[in-house]
Amino acid sequence: MKTGTLILVRHGQSTYNARGIWAGFTDCGLTDRGRQEARQAARAVRDQKIDVVYVTDLKRSVQTWQEMAKVLKCSSLKPVVAPEFKERDYGKLAGHSKWKLFARHGLKMWLHWRRNWDYPVPGGETLKDVYHRAVPYFRRFVLPQLEDGKTVLISAHGNSLRALVKYLDRISDSDIAQLEIATGGIYLYTISSDGTILREQRRAATNNQS
Instruction: Tell me the pLDDT tens digit for each residue of 43-81.
Output: 999 999 999 999 999 999 999 999 999 999 999 999 999
46 and 72 in contact (C-beta within 8 Å)? yes
Q: Which residues contact 103 (CB under 8 A, 6 or more apart)?
A: none
Three-state DSSP class for residue 181: coil
Question: How far lies 112's CA from each of 106, 119, 126, in Å?
Answer: 10, 6, 10
Return the pLDDT at 208: 43
CA distances from 136 to 78, 143, 163 (A): 23, 10, 11
Q: Give the confidence band of 202 by pLDDT, cuts at 50, 70, 90.
A: confident
In the three-class reduction of DSSP (H, G, I as helix; E, B as strand; rest coil), residue 161 is classed as helix
Q: Does residue 210 register a pLDDT over 70?
A: no
What mean pLDDT, rounded, does the chain reach? Answer: 94
Reply yes or no on whether the pLDDT at 204 is more than 70.
Answer: no
User: pTM to 2 decimals?
Assistant: 0.95
CATH number of 3-202: 3.40.50.1240
Residue 185 clears pLDDT 60, i.e. is over it: yes
> For the chain, how many residues are written?
210
- Residue 144, CA distances (Å) to 14, 151, 200 in order: 32, 11, 18
Q: Per DSSP, what are the bridge partners of residue 201? A: 188
Residue positions annotated with a catalytic role = 11, 87
Q: Give the integer Cα–Cα distance in Å for 119 and 138.
A: 24
Q: Is the pLDDT of residue 209 over 80?
A: no
Rounded distance between C-alpha atoms, residue 196 and residue 4, angstroms: 10
Q: Which residues pair with 52 in a beta bridge?
A: 152
